[in-house]
Amino acid sequence: MIRYALRCNGGHEFEGWFSASADYDEQSDRGLVACPVCDTRAVSKQVMSPAVSAATRARSVEASTHGPSQMRDMMMRVRRHVETHFDYVGDKFAAEARSIHEGKAEERGIYGEASAAEVKALVAYGVPIAPLPPEPPKKTQVN
């Protein structure tokens, strides 16, 4: 997996994970890379520094301006984007993802359910997948 620092034309910065370096370009050309804050497709890669130690990363996270409510909001936006723009395939996710990867089915964004064993097999086979953010808890359920 390759992690890219991304920024939209609205100035929002976020990360994107891709199976290979060419995947970003292909997904961006197809309009599949969108800002999780404002949903614009005008997104570009940013200059990235090499990985840093865990201690440095921890300080960076603490200094972040994104509080828990903003993170929940972003996760909800990602989930809603997938639910709106991707095809729900239910428990047929693993089979459909493999068919798309092999070129036997129409290439499109899908989501659904898969067992841990199915997910492990897809990753081992090289199918680019990612977990869908969970439904955020109701604000009344959050401490």
Burial classification of residue 140, based on how many CB atoms lie within 10 Å of its CB (0-12 exposed, 13-18 middle, 19 or more buried): exposed
Q: What is the pLDDT of residue 91?
A: 95
- Would you kindly state where each structural domain of the chain is located, as residue ranges? 1-46
pLDDT > 70: percent of the chain: 79
Selected residue with higher pLDDT from 39 and 98? 98
> pLDDT tens digit string along 81-127?
999 999 999 999 999 999 999 999 999 999 999 999 999 999 999 99
Residue in the block written with tokens 């899908």: 110
Q: What is the pLDDT of residue 54?
A: 55
Q: What is the pLDDT of residue 99?
A: 95
Q: Which two tokens stand for residue 125?
A: 């086979």
pTM for the whole structure? 0.51
Q: Cα angle at 82 between 6 and 10, to 5 degrees?
A: 35
pLDDT confidence bin for 18, thresholds 50/70/90? confident
Helices (DSSP H) in 102-137: which residue ranges? 116-125
Q: Which two tokens stand for residue 127?
A: 């199918």
